[in-house]
Amino acid sequence: MNRFIVRRAFQAAIVLGLVSIFTFLIFQVIPNGDPAARLAGRTATPEQIAAIARSWGFDRPIYIQYLHTMGKIFTGSVISYTQQINVVDQIRRGLPATISLAIGAGFIWLVFGILVGLLSSLRPGRLLDRTLGFLALTSISSPVFVIGSVALYFFAYRTSILPSGGYVPLTDNPLHWVEHLLLPWISLSLPFIGFYSRVLRGNVLDAKHEDYVRMARAKGLSSRRVLVRHVLRNSLIPIMALWGLDFAGVIGGGAILIESIFDLRGVGQYAAESIQVLDVPPIMVIVMYTAVLVVIMAAIIDVLYAYLDPRISLNA
């Protein structure tokens, strides 16, 4: 087991290194043209462009630029192009809203995803299963920003039951915190609920035909006990793995669309706003930070998986 953990950690470290290189390349190599010229604006003289290139280090070899950028990210001193403010501070400021969004939505989509999946797997092919299946597919097929903006229209603009966006810290007023996050939580959760319920339904129906379930039933266990102790326990492991990754994605600012629609001022919205003005450093740092979270989470999940499911060989 320990050897497995060490190897998995080593693998994760390699991927992290590659992620940082890849992210750097996206922004330094792919864009056509000179970054200094872009930064200087349309009316800049060649001397100005050269000065900018020197001060931002664009004239140095690419690997030096890479190491330089990494150094700046680790020491937390990345400066944005447009506002010239510290990117890491800005991300830190957005984290409470993003974490609030992720925790609430993650809880809702996990609970309801499992609930809906279980309900539809009880009697496959019957009316309840078909209805839930159709609803699940509809929610998977709906982009979150359509769900979000329609919900905003009906609950905030038409009826003003709920506020139309913004974020109130939990420590300021817990009631307002919930009020402001309710719509974002639900809008973000709906597609996940649809997807998780379909995955769980498939897992449960597959597990029902496994030998160990037949064995349990043959022993004379009640069907409830078979379902909870044997079928569900094994069907939930992949769901938890999925959840871990999606949760890490949302914490990392992956809920960029929902955050912008509900004006939560989190990490994702910071990314979205930087995109509008083509401000590269914040996007680069956020993308890197998210990827790091996901890679670490994936490694943790793999280790937990091996721990929970003894059928997985640790040497594979």
Q: Least CB distance from residue 257 to other proteins, whole Å?
A: 6
Q: Least CB distance from residue 173 to other proteins, whole Å?
A: 26
Q: Least CB distance from residue 156 to other proteins, whole Å?
A: 9
Q: Supply 15's token pair.
A: 């991927």
Of 100 and 120, the one with the shorter C-beta distance to other proteins is 120
Q: Least CB distance from residue 242 to other proteins, whole Å?
A: 13
197 touches 113 (CB < 8 A): yes
Of 69 and 177, the one with the shorter C-beta distance to other proteins is 69
Q: Which residues of 73-106 are buried (b: 16+ CB within 10 A; e: fewer)?
A: beeeebebbeeeeebbebbeebebbbebbbebbb
Q: Select from 288, 284, 293 the least CA-distant residue to 30.
A: 284
Q: Least CB distance from residue 254 to other proteins, whole Å?
A: 4
Of 169 and 212, the one with the shorter C-beta distance to other proteins is 212
The residue written with tokens 């629609």 in the block is: 261
Q: Select from 246, 236, 235 the least CA-distant residue to 106.
A: 246
Of 1 and 316, the one with the shorter C-beta distance to other proteins is 316
Distance CA 123, CA 119 (A): 8
Spatial neighbors of 193 by CB under 8 A, at least 6 apart, are: 108, 109, 112, 113, 116, 136, 139
For residues 143, 144, 150 and 151, what is the CA-based torsion angle, rounded to 10 degrees?
A: 150
Distance CA 243, CA 193 (A): 11
Of 171 and 315, the one with the shorter C-beta distance to other proteins is 315
Q: Select from 240, 236, 253 the least CA-distant residue to 297.
A: 240
Of 168 and 294, the one with the shorter C-beta distance to other proteins is 294
297 touches 245 (CB < 8 A): yes
Q: Which residues bind other proteins (CB under 8 A)?
A: 14-15, 18-19, 22-23, 26-27, 30-33, 38, 123-126, 134, 137-138, 140-146, 149-150, 152-153, 157, 202, 205-206, 208-209, 249, 252-254, 256-257, 260-261, 271-272, 275-276, 278, 280, 283-284, 286-287, 290-291, 294-295, 298
Q: Least CB distance from residue 295 to other proteins, whole Å?
A: 5
Of 100 and 269, the one with the shorter C-beta distance to other proteins is 269
Q: Least CB distance from residue 136 to other proteins, whole Å?
A: 10
Q: Select from 76, 63, 82, 75 the least CA-distant residue to 24.
A: 63
Length of the chain: 316
Of 115 and 140, the one with the shorter C-beta distance to other proteins is 140
Q: Least CB distance from residue 290 to other proteins, whole Å?
A: 6
